[in-house]
Amino acid sequence: MKLHPLILAILLLVSFVNQAQVITAVPCDMLGMSVNVGSQETMISIYHSGQYMTHPQSENVFMWEFTDQQGNILYQETLVDASTISFDHSWTLTDTINVTVHFVNDSANTYNWDISQGLPPNENSINCLFEDQLYWETGSPTPWGSWTFIHNNPGVDYEENCEQDLDEDGICDTCEEFDTIVMDCACEFFEPETYTVFFVNVDEENCLIIEDCYCECINDIDNNGVCDESEIEECIDVNQIDPTVFCPEIYDPVCGCDGITYSNSCEANFIGGVTSWENGPCIKIEYGACTYPLACNYDPNAFFDDGSCIFPPNDCDWPETWANGCTYVDAINYDESAIVDNGTCVWESCSTCTGDIDGDGVIATGDLLEILSLFGSFCEETNEPNNTIEGKWIFGANNLNTMYIFEDGFRYTYYCSEDNCYELYNSYEAGDGNHLTPNPYTFENNILTVDLFFGNELIAPLTFECYGDQIYVNGPNPYYLYRLNSNCE
């Protein structure tokens, strides 16, 4: 069948027009975002030029995501055939907001654009990634403030559109060639308790491929990044041992890396000096015995105290490590180095000759003159030592966080974190409800025993000083207590 020349021309024209119909699109780096006028503190509106520059517009898909600096998603939305995203928010004006847009159009490509620019034509569909940050800007030209993009970054080709993306970050590599640097950690040589882990970094800015590495522990049971072999060697840090630190008398056991159970983490840190521990007691054979180090029958391997402790001087001699002697300053044989009074104090005996004032063994004129010289004067009241545990006690003027009240067989514990601790402590009374759970106590033969509950006891020999207003509490970590409002601190 022969076609009419006119019909043939029309068909050729239609064919040409069909081939000339192009899908308009430009490269990703020619597209961008801008904040629309009218955005306010609690509302944002952003325009994306991809909608206008890419056809068919009906197939433009914009996947928006807004996050904070911790990576938390604040808002996300996918829009189709829409140039603008607008929404209300509650961002703080001091926040910096991360903005990410993934823009795709499976029916658009830059084929004709590439030809017009003398570039090799690319028939890949549009797949662009945009990343930028927003902040609230004040000052010229917007003294009232406005949301502003910090970087004004253009888009980049994303994922499958890249001819090369070595680090698979979705951003196409621009380097034609890469130099390679190989690192050798030699972990097995320098750190025998580790092995080498290799990985690759791509420095796209400097066109470098870095074959890097790091050392990983062979054994790291607690997953803290420190090899178990090193933890054993560094279990005890003598620099952190500080017997002056007052640890709370609570039983919340921890197992130190040295295999010893401590009453709480404070004692593990400042008394044991251990650098790590786990909650709960260490696993060991459980048996009860005396756990007080200064007792006659102390058992360092006992799991709990069974109340069987016996103490010197009634049940055994004073240990040589305890300096014992006369601790009363008015005694003839007062020993200032003594910690524990051993009952050997001796005082000057009174004269049996009542009128012998000058002590020469004869009652004579000298004695009369002694009396006349004192005639009319007033005698000062002699203070007897108040050697009783009853009352209010603190750890000194520089350590007012804790006060004890010993009264009627109970020790009441009070805490203070304010600046007026003296005022508070003077206002407190035993049993007033401002204290922790009272601990029963006994005080016999200068031995204080406090029930700390859960099978635990504080047992300590006490030495009264400063007329009974100062107590030396002996033990593994001795300390002083001072009667509240005394002059002994």
Contact 105, 61 (CB under 8 A): yes
- Tokens 């790291």, residue located: 220
Higher pLDDT, 367 or 412: 412
Q: How far apart are CA 326 and CA 205, in angstroms?
A: 82
Question: Mean pLDDT, to the nearest integer, of 141-149?
Answer: 79
Question: Mean pLDDT, to the nearest integer, of 203-216?
Answer: 82
Residue 8 reports pLDDT greater than 60: no
Provide the 8-state DSSP code for 338.
-
Contact 68, 97 (CB under 8 A): yes
Q: Residue 62: in which H helix or E strand, if any? A: strand 61-67
Confidence of residue 408 (pLDDT cuts 50, 70, 90): very high
Q: Provide long-range contacts, Cβ within 8 A and 24+ apart, for 28-32.
A: 28/103, 28/126, 28/128, 28/129, 28/154, 28/155, 28/156, 28/157, 28/158, 29/154, 29/155, 29/156, 30/154, 31/103, 31/128, 31/130, 31/154, 31/155, 32/130, 32/152, 32/153, 32/154, 32/155
Q: What is the mean pLDDT of the chain?
A: 80
Least confident window among 40-49, 164-173, 206-215, 396-405: 164-173
Share of the chain above pLDDT 90, in %: 19
Tokens standing for residue 152: 């004004």
Contact 116, 22 (CB under 8 A): no
Sequence spans of domains, the chain? 28-161, 175-233, 391-483
The CATH number of domain 28-161, selected from 2.40.160.60, 2.60.40.10, 3.40.50.2300, 3.20.20.70: 2.60.40.10
Residue 463 reports pLDDT greater than 70: yes
Residue 14 reports pLDDT greater than 90: no
* β-strands 277-279, 304-305 pairing: unpaired
Q: How far apart are CA 428 and CA 414, in angstroms?
A: 9
Give the pLDDT score at 5. 39
Question: Mean pLDDT, to the nearest integer, of 228-246?
Answer: 77
Residue 21 reports pLDDT greater than 50: no
In DSSP terms, which residues pair with 88 in a beta bridge? 43
First vs last C-alpha separation in the chain: 125
Tokens standing for residue 70: 């911790």
Question: Mean pLDDT, to the nearest integer, of 324-345?
Answer: 74
Q: Provide long-range contacts, Cβ within 8 A and 24+ apart, for 36-45.
A: 36/84, 36/86, 39/146, 39/147, 41/93, 41/136, 41/145, 42/88, 42/89, 42/90, 42/91, 43/86, 43/87, 43/88, 43/89, 44/86, 44/87, 44/89, 44/134, 44/147, 45/84, 45/85, 45/86
Q: Is 422 helix (H, G, I), strand (E, B) or coil?
A: helix
Residue 15 reports pLDDT greater than 50: no
Give the pLDDT score at 272. 87
- Tokens 């407190």, residue located: 428
* β-strands 254-256, 261-262 pairing: antiparallel
Question: Cis bond leading into 440, ω under 30°?
Answer: no
Residue 78 reports pLDDT greater than 60: yes
Alpha-carbon distances, residue 351 vs 345, 356, 380, 489 (angstroms): 19, 8, 21, 37
Give the pLDDT score at 140. 65
Quick check: pTM over 0.85?
no
For residue 9, what are the contacts with CB-CB under 8 A and spacing of at least 6? Answer: none
Give the pLDDT score at 172. 67
Give the pLDDT score at 76. 93
In DSSP terms, which residues pair with 274 in a beta bridge? 236
Give the pLDDT score at 224. 72
Residue 294 reports pLDDT greater than 50: yes
Give the pLDDT score at 381. 55
Least confident window among 34-48, 237-251, 279-293: 279-293
Give the pLDDT score at 313. 66
Residue 64 reports pLDDT greater than 60: yes
Higher pLDDT, 371 or 104: 104
Question: Cis bond leading into 243, ω under 30°?
Answer: no
Chain centre to alpha carbon of residue 414: 26
Residue 445 reports pLDDT greater than 60: yes
Give the pLDDT score at 429. 93
Residue 434 reports pLDDT greater than 70: yes
Higher pLDDT, 103 or 222: 103
Q: How far apart are CA 415 and CA 246, in angstroms?
A: 13
Give the pLDDT score at 345. 79
The number of residues in the chain equals 489
- Tokens 């005394």, residue located: 486
Question: Mean pLDDT, to the nearest integer, of 465-482?
Answer: 83
Confidence of residue 178 (pLDDT cuts 50, 70, 90): confident
Least confident window among 66-70, 232-236, 389-393, 484-488: 232-236
Residue 233 reports pLDDT greater than 70: no
Which of the residue ranges 17-26, 85-94, 157-166, 382-391 has the most confident prediction, judged by mean pLDDT? 85-94
- Residue 266 — φ and ψ, nearest 5°? -65, -45
Give the pLDDT score at 84. 95
Model confidence pLDDT, tens digit, residues 309-324 = 887 767 777 665 555 6
Confidence of residue 341 (pLDDT cuts 50, 70, 90): low
Confidence of residue 69 (pLDDT cuts 50, 70, 90): confident
